[in-house]
Amino acid sequence: MSTQAQLLPGTLDLLVLKAVSLGPLHGYGILLRIGQISGQALLIEQGALYPALFRLVRQGLLKASWGTSENNRRAKFYELTAQGRKRLREETDGWNRLATAIASALAAQRGEI
Amino acid sequence: MKFRAYLRSLAARLLRRARVEDDLEEEVRSHIQHRADDLARSGLSRAEAERRARIEFGGRERFKEECREALGGNFIETLMRDLRFSLRVLRKSPGFTTVAVATLALAIGANAVVFGILNALILRPLNVPQAGSLYAVQNGRGASYQSYPDYLDLRDRNRTFDGLAAYGISGVALDTGDNPARAWLYETAGNYFDILRIQPYLGRFFHASDEHGPNSAPYIVLTYAYWHTHFQDDRGVVGRTVQLNRHPFTIIGVAPPGFYGTLLFFSPDFFVPIVNQQQVDGEQLLNVRSTRWIFETLGHLKTGVTPAEAVADLNSIGSYLARTYPKDEGPVRWSLSRPALGGDFLGRPARAFVAALMLLAGLILLAACADLGSLFAARAFDRSREVALRLALGASRSRILRQLLTEAVMIALAGGAVGLWGSVVLLRGLSVWRPLTGFPIHVPVQPDAKVYGVALLLALVSGVLFGLVPARQVHKTDPYQIIKAGSSRALGRVAARDVLLGAQVAICALLVTSSMVAVRGLVRSTHANFGFQPRNAMLVDIALNMAGYTSDQVSAMQKRMIDAVSAVPGVASVGMVDNPQLIEGWNTTMVFTDKAADLRPSHAAAEPVRYSISPEYFRAAGTALLAGRTFTWHDGKDAPPVAVVNQEFARKLFGSVTSAVGGYFKRQNGTRVQVVGVVENGKYTTNIAEDLQPALFLPILQSPSSDAWLVVRSRSDPQQVAAGIRSKLRDLDSGLPIFLETWDKAMDGAMFASRVATVSLSVLGMMGAMLSITGIFGMAAYSVGRRKRELGIRMALGAQRKEVLWAGLGRAVKLLAFGSTAGLILGLLSARVLASIVYQATPRDPLVLSGVVLVMSLLGLVATWIPAQRALSVDPAKLLREE
Length in residues, chain A: 113
Pairwise CA distance, residues B124 & B695, whole Å: 39
Chain B partners within 8 Å of A54 (Cβ): 67, 70-71
Q: Tell me what the mean pLDDT of segment B628-657 comes to.
A: 91
Which of A13, A16, A54 to probe the B interface (max B CBs under 10 A)? Answer: A54
Pairwise CA distance, residues B264 & B255, whole Å: 16
Pairwise CA distance, residues B404 & B464, whole Å: 10
When mean pLDDT is compared over B72-76, B544-548, B792-796, the highest value belongs to B792-796
When mean pLDDT is compared over B183-192, B535-544, B775-784, B841-850, the highest value belongs to B183-192
Q: How far is CA B492 from CA B384, B805, B846, in A?
A: 13, 20, 41
Assess A5–B contact: CB distance below 8 Å, yes or no.
no
Cβ-contact B594, B665 below 8 angstroms: yes
Q: From the CA of B1, how many Å to the nearest CA of chain A?
A: 9
Find the closest chain B residue to A43 by CA distance: B56
**For residue B833, what pLDDT is reported?**
65
Q: How confident is the model at residue B449 (pLDDT cuts 50, 70, 90)?
A: confident
Helices (H), B551-639: 551-566, 617-621
Q: From the CA of B11, how many Å to the nearest CA of chain A?
A: 13
Query: pLDDT higher for B438 or B85?
Result: B85
Task: Give the list of residues 6+ apart from residue A55 with CB closer than 8 angstroms, or none.
Answer: A13, B70
Residues of B with CB under 8 A from a CB of A: 1-2, 5-6, 9, 23, 26-28, 30-31, 33-35, 37, 56-60, 62-64, 66-67, 69-72
Cβ-contact B135, B299 below 8 angstroms: yes
Pairwise CA distance, residues B784 & B791, whole Å: 8
Q: Tell me what the mean pLDDT of segment B230-258 comes to.
A: 91
Q: How many CB atoms lie within 10 A of CB B201?
A: 17
| Model confidence at B492: pLDDT above 60 | no
**For residue B679, what pLDDT is reported?**
94
Q: Tell me what the mean pLDDT of segment B811-839 comes to.
A: 77
Q: Tell me the per-residue pLDDT of B717-744, one tens digit each, with 9 for 90 and over.
A: 877 888 888 888 888 887 777 778 888 8
Q: Is B245 helix (H, G, I), strand (E, B) or coil?
A: coil
The percentage of residues in chain B with a pLDDT greater than 90, rounded to a whole number, is 22
Assess A110–B contact: CB distance below 8 Å, yes or no.
no
Chain A partners within 8 Å of B8 (Cβ): none
The average confidence (pLDDT) of chain B is: 83
In chain A the domains, ranked by start, together with CATH numbers, are: 5-108 (1.10.10.10)
Largest Cα–Cα distance of chain B, in whole Å? 137
Q: From the CA of A78, how many Å to the nearest CA of chain B?
A: 12
Q: From the CA of A21, how many Å to the nearest CA of chain B?
A: 20
Chain A partners within 8 Å of B72 (Cβ): 58
Q: Is B421 helix (H, G, I), strand (E, B) or coil?
A: helix
Q: Tell me what the mean pLDDT of segment B22-43 comes to.
A: 87
Pairwise CA distance, residues B581 & B683, whole Å: 7
CB-side exposure of B570: number of CA atoms within 13 Å? 14
Pairwise CA distance, residues B36 & B58, whole Å: 14
Q: How many CB atoms lie within 10 A of CB B462?
A: 26
| Model confidence at B334: pLDDT above 90 | no
Chain B partners within 8 Å of A75 (Cβ): 27, 30, 34
Pairwise CA distance, residues B155 & B767, whole Å: 51
Pairwise CA distance, residues A1 & B620, whole Å: 113
Cβ-contact A66, A75 below 8 angstroms: yes
Angle at Cα B302 formed by Cα B297 and Cα B305, nearest 5°? 105
Q: Tell me the per-residue pLDDT of B261-319, one tens digit each, with 9 for 90 and over.
A: 888 778 889 999 999 998 888 778 898 887 888 888 999 999 889 999 999 999 999 88
Q: Tell me the per-residue pLDDT of B369-386, one tens digit each, with 9 for 90 and over.
A: 888 887 787 777 777 777
Pairwise CA distance, residues B353 & B117, whole Å: 11
ipTM of the complex: 0.87
Q: From the CA of B389, how many Å to the nearest CA of chain A?
A: 23
Q: How far is CA B169 from CA B41, B178, B290, B539, B860, in A?
A: 103, 25, 18, 21, 52
**For residue B646, what pLDDT is reported?**
93
pTM of the model: 0.68
Query: Chains A and B: how many Cβ contacts under 8 Å?
Result: 71
Output the 3-class SS for B826-847: HHHHCHHHHHCCCCCCCCCCHH
Q: How far is CA B702 from CA B557, B614, B638, B708, B778, in A?
A: 15, 10, 8, 14, 72
**For residue B674, what pLDDT is reported?**
94
Q: How confident is the model at residue B747 (pLDDT cuts 50, 70, 90)?
A: confident
**For residue B494, what pLDDT is reported?**
53
Find the closest chain B residue to A72 by CA distance: B34
**For residue B272, what pLDDT is reported?**
95
Which of B439, B223, B259, B427 shows the shortest CA–CA distance to B340? B259
Q: Tell me what the mean pLDDT of segment B617-640 comes to.
A: 91
Determine which of B80-94, B140-154, B463-477, B527-541 has the lowest per-residue pLDDT on average. B463-477
Which of B504, B513, B489 shows the shortest CA–CA distance to B777? B504
Chain B partners within 8 Å of A52 (Cβ): 70
Residue B693 burial class via C-beta count within 10 angstroms: exposed 0-12, middle 13-18, buried 19 and up: buried
**For residue B491, what pLDDT is reported?**
45
Q: How far is CA B311 from CA B89, B160, B315, B337, B728, in A?
A: 63, 9, 6, 10, 55
Determine which of B61-75, B343-357, B446-460 has the lowest per-residue pLDDT on average. B61-75
Q: From the CA of A67, how many Å to the nearest CA of chain B?
A: 11
Cβ-contact B574, B621 below 8 angstroms: no
Cβ-contact B609, B590 below 8 angstroms: no
DSSP string, B457-499: HHHHHHHHHHHHTTHHHHHH--HHHHHHH-S-------HHHHH
Q: Tell me the per-residue pLDDT of B289-303, one tens digit each, with 9 for 90 and over.
A: 878 888 889 999 998
